[in-house]
Amino acid sequence: MKTKIALLLSVFLFTLISCENNNSDKQTPIDAEPIFMDLSSYYSQWNLKATNGEGVPANLRVLKAEYFTTGESGKIGRTVFFMNVGNKKLAADFVPDINFSLDGTTDISYYIDENRPCSELSLNETTSAIQRAMATWDNVSCSNLNMFQLPYTGEQTGFVAALLGFGGSFNYFGDVMHCGWLPRDFFDIIDIDGGSYILGVTFTIIFTDSDYDNNRKSDVAWREIYYNDNFSWRIGDHYDVETIAMHESGHGLSQAHFGTAFLDSGTGKLHFSPRSAMNAAYSGIQTNIEKTDEAGHCSIWANWPNQ
Ligand SMILES: [Zn+2]
């Protein structure tokens, strides 16, 4: 009897091992090269004079978008550059000089625009989830962002929304802007293949007048995050607001995507190595940041604002 069980067990183990081998044969890493998109036709619709919170003219442009996809789509989130500056990988960071900060402080502010609610959840639910996501980044101990939430004023926000004709404003409100939920049409504009698999996107808006801190990186004026209302959003289930807000806020705080994506041709699903909040597609609920996320965050923010 015992030998029979042992035999069965070894057959079972062997099957398990060979299944694993089969799987890894089918897995191919996915290319995530940035792409370029020309928004000049949108700019030409506006006599664009962006102004800061004090009404002072500031020359601003949308540098890039980083979007985040569903793992089931088999499509990986990518970076789309909108400014053809000859270097598609142009980096951008916030300026640690209060003279060039639009709100006159080096503290990191964020704002949650409740004008564009999620169809399937209450404002209380989505706002709390975004607050938890922001707190997770703020609680990383290497950095001192003095993060604070700006009170909701009811004003329309969103530079990119305004640019693309979805309401909004070209004015500065805060450093990291959660601009709310928009219909799929908005996401179709930022991906030539259509935006049906894009869950969320973060845009980087930069000053184009000069490199104020002379570090050869574009100076971030602020960042804007939008969520795709085409999906069934949930709290603690799929698609989880906090998970995606945390990912987008990572971009809001200057982090790029991280980890290699593999497509399993058997299941058609994506998975990542290593798994982290900054992986380029949704692969389940992730409300804690991983070591790689923390390392990325600290490499950007550990010395803020004394850089
Ligand atoms: Zn992303």
Structure tokens at 70: 């569903």
Cα 8 to ligand 1 centroid, rounded to whole Å:
46
The predicted structure's pLDDT at residue 192: 77
Task: Please tell me the distance between residue 43's alpha carbon and the centre of ligand 1 in angstroms.
Answer: 25
Rounded Cα distance, 287 and 212, in Å: 35
Ligand 1 center to residue 251 CA distance, Å?
A: 7
pLDDT score of 4: 55
Distance from the alpha carbon of residue 278 to the mean position of ligand 1, in angstroms: 6
- The tokens describing 219, both together, are 């100076």
What's the N-to-C CA distance of the chain in angstroms?
Answer: 71
Residue 247 Cα, ligand 1 centroid: separation in angstroms? 6
Ligand 1 centroid to residue 78 C-alpha, Å: 7
In this prediction, residue 86 carries a pLDDT of 65
Q: How many angstroms is it from 111 CA to the middle of ligand 1?
A: 19
Task: Please give the pLDDT value at position 226.
Answer: 98
Interval between CA 18 and ligand 1 midpoint (Å): 34
SS3 readout for 167-220: CCCCCCCCCEEEEEEECHHHHHHCCCCCCCCEEEEEEEEEECCCCCCCCCCEEE
> Which of 83, 53, 78 has the alpha carbon at shortest distance from 67?
78
CA of 47 to the centre of ligand 1 (A): 31
Q: How many A from CA of 295 to the centre of ligand 1?
A: 17
Point out the residues of the chain with pLDDT beneath 50: 1, 7, 9, 11-25
User: Which CATH code fits 37-42+60-302?
Assistant: 3.40.390.10
| Residue-by-residue DSSP string for 241-284 | HHHHHHHHHHHHTT----SEEEEETTT--EEEES--TTSSEE-S
Distance (angstroms) between ligand 1 centre and the Cα of 296 equals 14
* Gap from CA of 79 to ligand 1 centroid (Å): 8
Ligand 1 midpoint to CA 257 (Å): 6
Residue 210 is predicted with a pLDDT of 66
pLDDT of residue 201: 98
Q: How far is CA 82 from CA 7, 86, 129, 227, in A?
A: 62, 11, 30, 20
81/65 Cα distance (integer angstroms): 7
pLDDT at 30: 81
- Between the CA of 109 and the centroid of ligand 1 the distance, in Å, is 20
Contact residues for 7 (Cβ-Cβ < 8 A; gap 6+): none
Fill in the DSSP letter of residue 230: T
Query: From ligand 1's centre to the CA of 9, what distance in Å?
Result: 43
Q: Which residues surround ligand 1, an ion (CB under 5 A)?
A: 66, 68, 77
Cα 125 to averaged position of ligand 1 atoms, centre (Å): 22
pLDDT of residue 12: 47
How far, in Å, is the centroid of ligand 1 from the Cα of 307? Answer: 26
